[in-house]
Amino acid sequence: MRALEGLLRALAIPGEDIPNGLEDRQRLYRSVLAAYAREGRRILVVVDNASTAGQAGPLLPTDGTTAALVTSRHTLDGLDARLHDLDILDETASTAVLDEALRHARGADDTRITDDPQAATAIARLCAGLPLALRIAAATLAAAPTRPAASLAAALQAEHTRLDKLARSDRAVRAAFDLSYEALTSDQARLFRLLPLNPGPDVSTEAVAHLAGTGPDQAEELLQHLAEAHLLEPAQTWGRWRMHDLVRLYADERGRTDTDHRDSARARLFTHYEDTAQAANTHLDTLPGPRSPHFPDRGHALQWLDAEHANLIATATAAPALGHRATTAFLAIFLARYLEYRRYFDDRITLATTALAVFRELGYRRGEGLSLDYLGVALRAVRRFEEAIDAHTQDLAVCRELGDRHGEGAALTNLGSALQGVRRFEEAIDAHTQDLAVCRELGDRHGEGAALTNLGNALEAVRRSEEAIDAHTQALVRFREFGDRHGEGTTLNNLGNALQAVCRFEEAIDAHTQALTIRREFGDRHGEGWSLYNLGNALWGVCRFEEAIDVLTQALAVCREFGDRHLEGAALME
């Protein structure tokens, strides 16, 4: 009623001519707008910050000519209008808003934003692209003309006071969030307060159901309501959700003051991540064996791991400080194959280092040895060989202390592979030979296969090619005996290299071709790159130059895809 009265007065209707009833005012308002339109006088009606569709509806024109814009914190889907969601600003736009707002307030000579781009970028990042927060930050600087931008950036760093800093006497980020929060139902508000417990950048509907202790359908409904209130946003893939950084701080602040059994909710979420990661890991085992029914196949397991990768790493690294050290230990174990397969070696180093600290704090030596093993393998993959040697040497000492002969064998072969990286080949041969003896003592035929192919690599490095061929051939028998296709592919690749060294190129071509088939069977793109590179070398050896160039070009594309400079250099040299 009052809004219609104000609009009619703005349209030059005298107060005494404005009727009292809502419907009469609405008819008059729309007829005036239509009259203006007939005269060619275009009007834009702006309905700002509407709470509901019912509040905005009576203010909208119906003549088909007059334009209207309705803004709201909520998605108003009952207006029969086109919906536009405003995204947050990117870094460039955010710094531009800061600069323009400051110059508008203080004049063109105020260049604090452009003078210190690093501080400006930090402020933009800490305001997380939210226009209101950026305007408040600019107003804060405008109110203190001698304050450097770096000072405000430093003040906004602390999460627990950031919302307090983003406030002026007439506006505040927290106050804007309060309006949206107070409109939530109790169930919606409870979920909103729990969402910051997820350590990662986004969260799935399935994970939210565990967090809230409810079913997926109810979780999705609650999440959708929060998205409509713009307290949450759906990710590009349906079923995943993100929180704006400042909204996350606000939700966490609210959560700390309510009794939501946050510890139990976090435990449910972390258990979900542990159990599902374990289920996915069974599908990455290269040996035949039972697979978890949670996923229908390897592809679906990898799809889940890819989607949750950032969340799982964030959870594992955050868990110890939250009193969930077991979560770190479990995820370090269950994610090892995946991180190696996807070549996320930096994440594997981070996770293994975190788990190592946990096990040492607990005094659990077996876990310490396992973490050292994972750490050494990842360090070797990024060519930090000396650190890898140190990690495997420590692992070997732990295994011998515990009398763990299986672990001792694994530590020896991994140590041997790291020693090869620094060209300490005789020591590597000795380590692999010791591993082979341990495996034979224990009757570990599969482990024997790994020891043999690693020994073959070390023998080949010192030009003992016939012995290397014999070792790889024996390893191939072991892996085929166990149905380990992945191990078979690795060994075929190694065997092909040894065959090339003695100019048995046709046999080498056959071995590399088989290895390539297996790598593609597993979707192992990086392994495929190495097989292509080795196959190209073998083809070159029999003067099949056009085929070799084609295969090496494919190898080059793969290594660039993964950023593998070592393989790229090798392929270019050929």
Which residue in this structure is represented by tokens 């788990």? 355
Both tokens assigned to 1: 């009623």
Instruction: For residues 114 and 99, give the distance between their C-alpha atoms in angstroms, rounded to a whole number.
Output: 7
Phi first, then psi: give them for residue 62, nearest 5 degrees. -130, 10
Residue 241: DSSP 8-state: E
Q: What is the four-CA torsion angle of 296, 300, 301, 307, rounded to 10 degrees? A: -150
CB 406 within 8 A of CB 395: no
Is-contact 226 248, C-beta < 8 A?
Answer: no
pLDDT of residue 427: 97
Distance CA 86, CA 93 (A): 14
CA 440 to chain CA centroid, nearest Å: 42
44-47 and 67-70 strand pairing: parallel
**Torsions phi, psi of 173, nearest 5?**
-60, -45
> pLDDT of 317-354, one tens digit each?
999 999 999 999 999 999 999 999 999 999 999 999 99
pLDDT of residue 39: 83
Give the CA distances from residue 379 to residues 76, 312, 376, 387, 525, in Å, rounded to whole numbers and listed in that order.
53, 20, 5, 7, 20
Q: Which helix (H) or strand (E) holds 70?
A: strand 67-70
- Cα(168)–Cα(144) distance, integer angstroms: 13
Whether pTM > 0.85 for this model: the answer is no
pLDDT score recorded for residue 567: 55
**Sites in the chain below the pLDDT cut of 50:** 571-572
Separation between Cα atoms, residue 27 and residue 46, nearest integer Å: 18
CA gap 513, 532 in Å, rounded: 8
Decide if 488 contacts 499 (C-beta within 8 A): no
Query: For residue 71, what are the CA distances in angstroms to 83, 92, 387?
Result: 10, 24, 58
Phi, psi for residue 70 in degrees, rounded to 5: -115, 125
Distance CA 293, CA 287 (A): 17
**Predicted pLDDT of residue 487:** 92
- CA distances in angstroms from 161 to 63, 130, 157, 179, listed in the order given: 50, 17, 8, 20
Q: 204 forms bridges with which residues in the sheet? A: 240
CA distance 416 to 393: 10
Q: What is the DSSP string of 419-477?
A: HHHTT-HHHHHHHHHHHHHHHHHHT-HHHHHHHHHHHHHHHHHTT-HHHHHHHHHHHHH
- Measured between alpha carbons, how far is 372 from 273 in angstroms, rounded to an integer? 23
Confirm if 431 and 413 have CB atoms less than 8 A apart: yes
